[in-house]
Amino acid sequence: MKRAINAANLHVGGGVQVAVSFLHELASQPVQAARFAVFASSEVDAELKSLGCDVGRFQRYLAIDMHGLVRGSRALHRELDRFDVVFTVFGPLYRWSPPFRSIVGFAQAWILYPDNESLSALSWQARWRQRAKFWIQKQFFRRADELVGELEHVRDGLVRRLGADPRAIHVVRNSVASLYRQPEAWRPVAMPPDSCDLRLGFVGRNYAHKNTAIFPAVVAALRQRHGIEAKVYVTFNEAEWQACPPEFQASCVNVGPLSVTQCPAFYQAVDAVIFPSLLECASATPLEAMAMGRPLFASDRPFNRDLCDGHARFFDPLAPDSAAAAIAEWFRNGGPDEDELAAARRHALDFSNAAERARKYTAILLQGARQAGHAPTTHIGLHDEQ
C-alpha cells in the first residue's frame, strides 16, 4: 500500500505548526518515516529545515504548494493520485472523487458554528463571502472517507453539521510541540521597545473571529480604571497591521509574523498572554502560553475551558472591562502565583503530547490503508444535514 501525507495547502497559523510538529516527530522514527511520502508547502518545508529535520527519511519528500481551490492543484493532484491513501493534515482537500482513500483533518470552526458572534464584526458583503466560502468547503469535507478533529466538540459538530458517520471521525487532541521542551532549538525574536508597565502578548492572525478589535478598549480600561499602562504585542503581517485603525496601532506593538521556532521566545518576552477569541476548534495558543509559564487571560468560551481546565483567568470577550478587570486583579495582588503557573505548565504538557499525536495520526493512516485495500471507498456525508 502506498501512503502519503499532504501538507501542501498549509501556509499560515496553527495548521503549519501542527504539520511541522507531526512531520518532525515522524522523521525522528526512521522505520516509520520510510513508510510515507510527504508533500509539504514552502512554509512547512522551511520550518522543518529550521528544526534540522532529516526529510530524507521519508519514502519520498517534495516541497510543493497549493493555494485555495485551484492554484497548484493540477501538479499536486497528479502526485497524490499515485497513492492508495492520503492524509491531508488539515483540509479541505479540493477533490470531488479522488482515486484514493482520503483522510482529512478538520479545524474549520465557522462550518460548525455558522451563526457565531464574529458575524457582527463583518459587513454584509463579507458575511456573504464567508458563507459562500464555507458552504463550498463543507461540500468537499463531506467527500472525505474519514475526518480527524482535535476535540470532542468537533466530532459532535461534524455529525450535526455535515451528517458525518461517527464511526468515520477520529479525535486526536491538539498538543504543545516537542519544541517547547527543547530550548536549544528556540530562535530569538526582536521585540520593539516600548515604555509600559505590562506587556500582553497575542499570537495569531488578525481574523475577525480572533476578536482582536477589543485590544484598544482593554488597554484604555487598564489605564483609566486600574492605573496600569499596558501594550498588546501582536504578530500580524504587514498588510494586516496597516489595515488596523490608528487607535489600534496606538495601543498595540506589532512584532510581525513568527516562525514556529520563535514562538517560545515571544512568550518569554511578554508578561502575560491574552486570547480573546470568539471561535475555535482547538487553538494551541492557550496550551503554549501555559507551557511557557505565562499567565493566560482567555475568553470564557467552551473551547478554552476544555483546553485550560481552570488554569486560565477567563473574561467575557464582548466586554473589554471584564478582560481588564481579570488582568488587573491578578497583577494587583502581588503578581502571578508561581505554584499556579507551574500547575498550568504541567497541565499543558500533560494535556497531550506531540509524540502521541504523531503516533495516533500514523495509526489512522495505516488503518486507512488497510481499509483501502479491502473495501470500496465511501464518503462521510451519509445523512442529511441537520
- Of 210 and 384, more confident: 210
pLDDT at 46 over 90: yes
Could you give the CA distance from residue 300 to residue 312 in angstroms, rounded to a whole number? 10
Per DSSP, the three-state class of 79 is helix
Q: Which residues contact 193 (CB under 8 A, 6 or more apart)?
A: none
Query: Where does the pLDDT of residue 47 fall: very low under 50, low under 70, confident under 90, or very high at 90 and above?
Result: very high
Bridge-based pairing of strands 85-88 and 60-63 is unpaired
pLDDT at 376 over 90: no
pLDDT tens digits, one per residue of 76-111: 999 999 999 999 999 999 999 999 999 999 999 999
| pLDDT at residue 379, as a whole number | 56
pLDDT tens digits, one per residue of 125-156: 988 998 999 999 999 999 999 999 999 999 99
Q: DSSP string of 181-237?
A: G-GGG-----------SEEEE--S---GGGTGGGHHHHHHHHHHHH---EEEEE---
pLDDT at 117 over 80: yes
Could you give the CA distance from residue 147 to residue 221 in angstroms, rounded to a whole number? 43
| pLDDT at residue 134, as a whole number | 94
Could you give the CA distance from residue 239 to residue 252 in angstroms, rounded to a whole number? 15
> CA of 82: how far to CAs of 91, 100, 136, 217, 244, in Å?
19, 8, 26, 53, 45
pLDDT at 386 over 50: no
Say what the pTM is: 0.89
Beta carbons of 380 and 146 less than 8 angstroms apart? yes
Q: Which CATH superfamily is domain 183-351 in?
A: Glycogen Phosphorylase B; (3.40.50.2000)
Query: Where does the pLDDT of residue 223 fall: very low under 50, low under 70, confident under 90, or very high at 90 and above?
Result: very high
Q: Which three cell numbers stand for residue 15?
A: 495548521
Q: List, by residue range, all CATH 3.40.50.2000 domains of the chain.
A: 3-175+353-374, 183-351
Which residue from 125, 115, 266 is spatially nearest to 187, judged by alpha carbons? Answer: 266
- Of 193 and 278, more confident: 278
* Domain 3-175+353-374 top-level CATH class: alpha beta
